[in-house]
């Protein structure tokens, strides 16, 4: 029998980071450089390098530095770093709960969960993150007022493919152009990253959770979000797309009273901690 119980490992949401990220976000010289580095053209150029055969030389060091277990993935000879980065998991490694009323994680990541106040998701210092700015569609944002937001922050060691959480159909899709900040907590302290970064979102009518929005947000050096389709039907656990090199974010929006998030995840978020989960883990269930 497949177990979908969370391990509940957590990490603190911290402004601390490595010296390079601290330099970029906490110094005047670094912020000047950010104006150049966050341009989509820079990430596209980095993507070309990561597609080149010579970039495969970086793979062994990356595996060692991030303690990646290759037993979880299909055995392949990687043609480039991006070929490695978008590697596919072996069948059964990321199992989904068989209970259709369980809300599964669409991806690996560090999860925070918020019960929204109107369209407001959360505040960090003087910045307000809300659905209107994320979607750039006030009418659609009103449909999700007082709903639930799940934010899955992916880091380089995570599996960078993502799936649909339920059976259903695509209502609409939208791509929003933007810049590309890192999605590390340190950047969220300084800028409205999710509302500024390039992103794509899909409005979905699901069988068990009603109308749901799944958004993929690009990050520094992750200019390429690859969704497989913009219309049609889908099934629970079907691959929706993938990110190329770097950290990134998947965001799920549910309407009011559609789901109940696992209590421990909500408690962790209030304590400024992220819950570490894998694709397919149960993170909540249908309300009622």
Write out the two tokens for 228: 């497989």
CA distances from 101 to 19, 65, 136 (A): 44, 38, 30
What is the C-alpha separation between 111 and 134, in angstroms, rounded? Answer: 18
Closest CA to 175 of 151, 196, 198: 198
| Residues 6 or more apart in contact with residue 77 via CB below 8 angstroms | none
The pairing of strands 102-104 and 225-227 is: unpaired
Give the CA distances from residue 58 to residues 50, 51, 65, 72, 104, in Å, rounded to whole numbers and listed in that order.
9, 12, 11, 20, 33
Strand ordering across the sheet containing 282-286: 102-104, 282-286, 259-261
Q: Give the pair of three-digit tokens for residue 54.
A: 């010579």
Do residues 185 and 14 lie in contact, with contact meaning Cβ atoms separated by under 8 Å?
yes
Annotated active-site residue 17? The verdict is no
Query: Which one from 80, 97, 119, 248 is the annotated catalytic residue?
Result: 248
Query: Which one of the listed residues 55, 108, 119, 130 is annotated catalytic?
Result: 108
174, 211 contact by CB (below 8 A): no
Dist. CA 180–CA 223, nearest whole Å: 7
**CA-based nearest residue to 283, from 266, 270, 273, 272:** 266
Active site residue 248: yes
Q: Active-site residues: which are they?
A: 108, 248
């Amino acid at each position: 029998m497949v177990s979908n119980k969370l391990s509940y490992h957590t990490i603190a949401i911290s402004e601390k980071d490595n010296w390079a990220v601290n330099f970029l976000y906490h110094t005047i010289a670094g912020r000047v450089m950010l104006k150049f580095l966050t341009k989509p053209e820079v990430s596209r150029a980095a993507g070309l390098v990561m597609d080149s055969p010579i970039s495969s030389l970086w793979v062994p060091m990356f595996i060692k530095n991030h303690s990646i277990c290759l037993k979880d993935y299909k055995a392949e000879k990687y043609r480039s770093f991006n070929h490695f980065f978008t590697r596919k998991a072996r069948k059964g490694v990321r199992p989904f709960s068989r209970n259709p009323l369980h809300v599964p994680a669409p991806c690996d990541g560090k999860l925070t969960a918020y019960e929204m106040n109107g369209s407001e998701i959360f505040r960090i210092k003087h910045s307000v993150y809300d659905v209107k700015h994320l979607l750039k569609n006030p009418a659609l944002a009103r449909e999700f007022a007082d709903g639930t937001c799940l934010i899955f922050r992916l880091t380089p060691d995570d599996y960078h493919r993502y799936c649909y959480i339920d059976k259903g159909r695509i209502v609409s899709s939208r791509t929003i152009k933007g810049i590309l900040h890192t999605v590390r907590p340190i950047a969220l302290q300084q800028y409205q990253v999710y509302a500024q970064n390039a992103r794509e979102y899909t409005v979905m009518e699901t069988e068990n959770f009603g109308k749901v929005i799944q958004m993929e947000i690009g990050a520094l050096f992750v200019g390429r979000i690859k969704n497989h389709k913009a219309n049609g039907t889908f099934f629970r656990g079907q691959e929706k797309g993938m990110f190329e090199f770097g950290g990134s974010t998947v965001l799920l929006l549910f309407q009011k009273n559609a789901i109940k998030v696992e209590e421990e995840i909500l408690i962790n978020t209030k304590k400024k901690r992220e819950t570490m989960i894998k694709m397919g883990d149960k993170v909540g269930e249908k309300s009622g």
